[in-house]
A and B are shown apart, each in its own frame.
Chain A
Amino acid sequence: MSLNIDQIRGLFPVLHQEVHGKPLIYFDNAATTQKPQSVLDALSNYYGRDNSNIHRGAHALADRATQYYEETREAVREFVGAKEAAEIIFTKGTTESINLVAQTFGRKFIGKDDEIVISTMEHHSNIVPWQMLCEEKGAVLKIIPINEAGEIHFGEFEKLLSPKTKLVSIVHASNALGTINPVRKVIDAAHAVGARVLLDGAQSTAHLEINVQELDCDFLAFSAHKLYGPTGLGVLYGKREILEAMPPFLGGGEMIKEVTFEKTTYNEIPFKFEAGTPNIADVIAFKSALDFIKQYGKPAIKAHEDALLAHANETMKPIKGFIPVGTAEEKVSVLSFNINGMHPFDVGQMLDAKGIAVRTGHHCTQPLMKRFGIEGTVRASFAVYNTKSEIDKMAEGLAQIARFKNK
């Protein structure tokens, strides 16, 4: 099915504005996507009609809010193909989801001289929590190398695996390069040595169909705001038996079964990991974002985005001084590049002056930038509401900018 992009654009109020006197072209979707009207309405309806604390009050509003909140949990379960809704934990985002695993699973099951494997292309939020854990426990962090195209060396990865490997934590799709990692193979190889696998799905969940049962990953972390949903909300999926074996993360209300001053017993999953009043409004509104994606279907969305990326590759290639960064075979719709002789900040600022929003810098992947020997890149990342004519405008603008240093 091909999508009616004009109609889809109509659902996103933020797209219809001018910046610096030019129509906005929003190409910073890997940082965060825009939100459809249905998500905005869900937020306003919650506060306007249903606001109350969940899982507690014995009154109509609390019942309603609890029901909607749990409906989102079920929608997320379906979205990732989990066996049961109890395996879906709401967090603040990918970062918190990964930290939760490091602080609970990691502290309990990873000890001295155990090994954690990550890749060269990880986001800082999938590096720093493991460094903190390694420091505390005397465990060792191992890094999967990558090739010039920005793909992991699978053979080198296999060599890193041993009975000492307790966890492989790897990005499903790279935010800086777009590379889609062969996670199916990674998971099988890791399981063969008895290691658990965490997938950082921050950049994959909006584009790729994901079924955690088929993939057999042990954890999946992602953020609602990169999925047309609200900011400050994320998900941690974990297999039931692992989540049950993990100690709680934060202590407080909601996560307990019974508290006495002598001893506290903990609630069942997922509530064991959701201490305190959660981000109720955003959880409820997130369901509208998931409905939006479901309505069009990820295959159709991906097909549109793939076409955009192919078009971008084609139109940028002739630009003098254009240097693509990340040319993997399998990619999500991320175009990372530099212009010869120019700093990415300058390119980004000049594109901004043309109304084109891109991200510039290291994209929270400094070790990856170091691997390529660059300070950063300019990154254009496409979503379902972007168009080929927007890409043409960027190419035109870039050609003009590149002439500045590439005469």
Chain B
Amino acid sequence: MSSIKDIQEEIVSEFEILGDDKESTVFYIMELGGSLGKFPENERKEENIIKGCQSKVWLIADDVDGKVHYQADSNTDITKGLISLLIRVLNNRSPEEILNAELNFINRIGMGSIIGSQRSNGLSAMIKQMKLYAFAFQTKQNA
């Protein structure tokens, strides 16, 4: 499996192909949203909603053989696209890797100016929640 760093490099080069054209970038992120796996209906509940996102985002995580397995969904396609990028980078890794991950691809592709400030805050909230899950699993594994 490629490292967190390698996958980020991949994403950055994909976005570089799109260039400065904001329109195609936004369309691309929406398309990515379609690649997000199906979210279990019974988990679509209040306690799995991430606070701090303007659109609704549900996130759950499982510890599968010591690796963190994330599943997420949103009611907006652009947010789904953003989640799918995060999952692509962080899914099925050890809690340590996730907690130490430096997610520089977001700044490198200039996500802030692509999605605007409200969604950027939401994106930070998603990352925080993903790391929180990793932290919880790490604590359990070390107990």
Q: Is the CB of A343 within 8 A of B22?
A: no
Q: Is the CB of A349 within 8 A of B116?
A: yes
User: Is A404 an interface residue, CB under 8 A from the partner?
Assistant: yes
User: Could you tell me the distance in whole angstroms from the C-beta of B28 to the nearest C-beta in chain A?
Assistant: 11
Q: Is the CB of A354 within 8 A of B23?
A: yes
In chain A, what residue has the closest Cβ to B26? A353
List residues 337-390 of chain A with CB under 8 A from any CB of chain B: 342-343, 345-346, 349-350, 352-354, 375
Q: Is the CB of B115 within 8 A of A349?
A: yes
Return chain A residues, CB-CB under 8 Å to B35. none
User: Is A21 an interface residue, CB under 8 A from the partner?
Assistant: yes
A21-B20, A404-B30 known; A346 vs B116 contact (CB < 8 Å): no
A343-B55, A349-B115 known; A20 vs B23 contact (CB < 8 Å): yes
User: Is B54 an interface residue, CB under 8 A from the partner?
Assistant: yes
> In the docked arrangement, what's the CA distance between A353 and B114, Å?
8
Partner of A345, one of B21, B25, B27, B76: B76
In chain A, what residue has the closest Cβ to B77? A346
Partner of A21, one of B22, B75, B119: B22
Q: How many residues of A contact B (CB 8 A)?
A: 13
Q: Is the CB of B55 within 8 A of A350?
A: no
> In the docked arrangement, what's the CA distance between A349 and B23, Å?
9
Q: Is the CB of B26 within 8 A of A350?
A: yes
User: Is B86 an interface residue, CB under 8 A from the partner?
Assistant: no
Cβ contacts B74-103/A at 8 Å (1 or 0 each): 011111000000000000000000000000
Partner of B23, one of A342, A353, A375: A353
A350-B26, A352-B116, A375-B75 known; A345 vs B55 contact (CB < 8 Å): yes
Q: Is the CB of A345 within 8 A of B26?
A: no
A352-B116, A375-B75 known; A346 vs B22 contact (CB < 8 Å): no
Q: Is the CB of B23 within 8 A of A343?
A: no
Q: Is the CB of A343 within 8 A of B77?
A: yes
> In the docked arrangement, what's the CA distance between A382 and B26, Å?
25
Return chain A residues, CB-CB under 8 Å to B27. 350, 404
> In the docked arrangement, what's the CA distance between A354 and B21, Å?
10
> In the docked arrangement, what's the CA distance between A345 and B27, Å?
13
List residues 106-131 of chain B with CB under 8 A from any CB of chain A: 115-116, 119
Q: Is the CB of A346 within 8 A of B76?
A: yes
Return chain A residues, CB-CB under 8 Å to B54. 345
Return chain A residues, CB-CB under 8 Å to B25. 353
Return chain B residues, CB-CB under 8 Å to A342. 77
User: Could you tell me the distance in whole angstroms from the C-beta of B94 to the nearest C-beta in chain A?
Assistant: 34
Cβ contacts B3-37/A at 8 Å (1 or 0 each): 00000000000000000111101110010000000
User: Could you tell me the distance in whole angstroms from the C-beta of A293 to the nearest C-beta in chain B?
Assistant: 32
Return chain B residues, CB-CB under 8 Å to A343. 55, 75-77
Return chain B residues, CB-CB under 8 Å to A345. 54-55, 76, 78-79
In chain A, what residue has the closest Cβ to B25? A353
Return chain A residues, CB-CB under 8 Å to B26. 349-350, 353
Q: Is the CB of B22 within 8 A of A20?
A: yes
> In the docked arrangement, what's the CA distance between A20 and B21, Å?
8
Return chain B residues, CB-CB under 8 Å to A20. 22-23
User: Could you tell me the distance in whole angstroms from the C-beta of B101 to the nearest C-beta in chain A?
Assistant: 27
Q: Is the CB of B20 within 8 A of A346?
A: no
Q: Is the CB of B22 within 8 A of A353?
A: yes
User: Could you tell me the distance in whole angstroms from the C-beta of B30 to the nearest C-beta in chain A?
Assistant: 7
A352-B116, A404-B30 known; A346 vs B78 contact (CB < 8 Å): yes
Return chain A residues, CB-CB under 8 Å to B22. 20-21, 353
In chain A, what residue has the closest Cβ to B21? A21
> In the docked arrangement, what's the CA distance between A346 and B55, Å?
10
Please list the 3 inter-chain residue pairs (A to B) with the smallest Cβ-Cβ separation, ordered nearest first. A343-B76, A20-B22, A353-B23
Residues of chain A whose beta carbon lies under 8 Å from any beta carbon of chain B = 20-21, 342-343, 345-346, 349-350, 352-354, 375, 404
Residues of chain B whose beta carbon lies under 8 Å from any beta carbon of chain A = 20-23, 25-27, 30, 54-55, 75-79, 115-116, 119
Q: Could you show 28 A-B contacts with beta carbons less than 8 Å apart?
A: A20-B22, A21-B20, A21-B21, A21-B22, A342-B77, A343-B55, A343-B75, A343-B76, A343-B77, A345-B78, A345-B79, A346-B30, A346-B76, A346-B77, A346-B78, A349-B78, A349-B116, A349-B119, A350-B23, A350-B26, A350-B27, A350-B30, A352-B116, A353-B22, A353-B23, A375-B75, A404-B30, A404-B77
